[in-house]
Amino acid sequence: MSYRFFKSSWSGVVPSIKRLHSFVSLTRRYRHISDFAGEFESWKSMEALRRCSANHVPLSPITFLERAAKVYRDSTSLVYGSYNYTWAQTHQRCLKLASALSQLGISPGHVVATFAPNVPAMYELHFAVPMAGAVLCTLNSRLDSAMVSVLLTHSEAKVVFVDHKLLEIARGALDLLAKTNKPPPILILISKWDDDSSPTSLEPGTYEYESFLETGHMGFEIRRPKSEWDPISINYTSGTTSKPKGVVYSHRGAYLNSLATLLLHRMQSMPVYLWTVPMFHCNGWCLAWGIAAQGGKNICLRNVSPKEIFENIALHNVTHMGGAPTVLNMIVNSPDRKPLPHKVDITTGGSPPPPQILYKMEELGFRVTHLYGLTETYGPGTYCIWKPEWDSLPLAEQSKLKARQGMQHVGLEEVDIRDPVTSKPVPADGKTMGEIMFRGNTVMSGYFKDLQATEEAFSGGWFRSGDLAVKHPDGYIEIKDRLKDIIISGGENISTVEVETVLYSHPAVLEAAVVARPDNHWGQTPCAFVKLKEGFDVDAQELIRFCRDNLPHYMAPKTVIFEELPRTSTGKIQKYLLREKAKALGSLS
């Protein structure tokens, strides 16, 4: 066996090797690849490899349904009241629906909208629309006619599926559209699953969902995406800060976020998922697709109330559910609440849940996972991954840890807190605020027809969330505020979230939101909007005193207003409305 001489071109390795193996002469001892480069046959790249249908398919959630129809064929796919479907049936129905859409003229790239709560049609459309090659646009079911007409125009939807209880709002929207001389989308009415609706109310030009579906054929050949980058859905943002934007998801991103979200939810084979998260919101955090991947059971609800939640958990052996902190708040403050018959995993996201609510949820028997994300990150992006060593901490301490937004799930490349201006990472000191930035395959493709907004959101090669957070020494992030919500008072930054957390810890407070009130002297001062629990009565002075006892004085609200808080349909408080109110109050000083 012959060894070559070590050449001088190789540096850096020498000193430490030398230290460790000084017992032989280095010059005779070590070799470098360049010593025999050219002596091997040149590395023939990988020319014998073949990319073909056997080993390459564009990633798409459509696969999940096709597999479920085989693997979980006779298992229940979906329950809605007294209706039950199996995965084989759901697959067949989606095929027929896709077929019917294509017979109607829907072609790849067309947008198909929905305007409905979590009824079975919503689940089916999550597969049927992409199977027809089209793009699903799920409108928030709590929008008014004006907003629906704006979004139908912007999305250029060719068809809109409308729940029968939302028909009047939809008709109002179509009337508004008609005034603009643009042809309105074809309306397909969803009325099958409720006894109190009747197809005789159909107007000319309108279809009924079930009979429309029945026109389709099961032999329909699925129009699969040509590229996994093809769009699968458009989700309009809930508009907490500005005009709604159409966030475009790709088949690839939807596939990858579905799997990451399954792992985040700790969903094993055949979970039972109670749909308390609206499917129109980030496609149900991608679980409309994800549940099919695990052959789970979808328990659909038209209305989400604590009574229905507790009934369904017991009736269907629910294993998982989700919801904004509003839903959690509703559960822990409901007279219908009771200890659970078995552990239920609940994920919460949308805004930071007050530790008090987390604590009470755990007491009832829920295992709460706190996640964070935006419409732009397909819903879940980070979560507060639980460390076993935290199990032995006092519950109150656990709740505080759990209220943090945590770390990125497995589908993302990187989440970091960076200075919004310089883009430099902030130190992990738990104090320095920066903007949460995302990078990875589960970040949106961009904003539909809004290149400027897309480029702004991606400037610097990261998706800029607009949320302000700190990074703790253990790397976990914690949101302090929206970039646009932060209050600057006398030169000090005040995190409205921190003030709200203190307000929530007051026994009389049901809901609280803090915004900036303009001030001639301080620039801004904190102004709290509060809703009290029933039967409680405290005044502004008491709450201000409570905040001063629990916060630096400059952070305590100077104004407290008692009223119902305006919310988006996803449960987020519409701070821009409150900011307008606070602005109208004028300066305090």
Partners of 344 in beta bridges: 366
- The end-to-end CA distance of the chain, in Å, is 89
Q: How far apart are CA 382 and CA 417, in angstroms?
A: 13
Q: List the structure tokens of 153.
A: 């125009």
Q: List the structure tokens of 268.
A: 């094993």
Least Å distance between CB 522 and a copy of itself? 37
Task: Compare residues 34 and 422 and give the one whose CB is closer to a copy of itself.
Answer: 34
Q: How far apart are CA 6 and CA 29, in angstroms?
A: 7
If you search the block for the tokens 């320095």, which residue do you land on?
A: 432
Least Å distance between CB 100 and a copy of itself? 7
Partners of 487 in beta bridges: 494
Task: Compare residues 91 and 517 and give the one whose CB is closer to a copy of itself.
Answer: 91
Tell how strand 379-383 and strand 344-348 pair up: unpaired
Task: Compare residues 28 and 583 and give the one whose CB is closer to a copy of itself.
Answer: 28
Least Å distance between CB 144 and a copy of itself? 18
Least Å distance between CB 293 and a copy of itself? 5
Q: How far apart are CA 220 and CA 91, in angstroms?
A: 12
Q: How far apart are CA 533 and CA 131, in angstroms?
A: 47
Least Å distance between CB 316 and a copy of itself? 14
Task: Compare residues 41 and 534 and give the one whose CB is closer to a copy of itself.
Answer: 41
Residue type, 282: C
> How many alpha carbons lie under 13 Å from residue 317 in its C-beta half-sphere?
4
Least Å distance between CB 314 and a copy of itself? 18
Output the DSSP codes for 261-323: HHHHTT--SS-EEE--S-TTSHHHHTHHHHHHHTT-EEE--SS--HHHHHHHHHHHT--EEEE
Task: Compare residues 49 and 584 and give the one whose CB is closer to a copy of itself.
Answer: 49
Task: Compare residues 250 and 524 and give the one whose CB is closer to a copy of itself.
Answer: 250
Q: How far apart are CA 404 and CA 45, in angstroms?
A: 47
Least Å distance between CB 384 and a copy of itself? 11
If phi > 0 it is left, if psi is from -120 to 50 it is alpha, else beta; for residue 283 that is left
Task: Compare residues 158 and 579 and give the one whose CB is closer to a copy of itself.
Answer: 158
Task: Compare residues 414 and 539 and give the one whose CB is closer to a copy of itself.
Answer: 414
Q: How far apart are CA 333 and CA 360, in angstroms?
A: 9
Q: Calculate the alpha carbon distances from 238 to 105, 512, 519 in Å.
A: 30, 20, 29
Least Å distance between CB 344 and a copy of itself? 16
Asked if 319 and 273 count as a contact pair (C-beta separation under 8 A), the reply is yes
Least Å distance between CB 66 and a copy of itself? 8
Task: Compare residues 445 and 559 and give the one whose CB is closer to a copy of itself.
Answer: 445
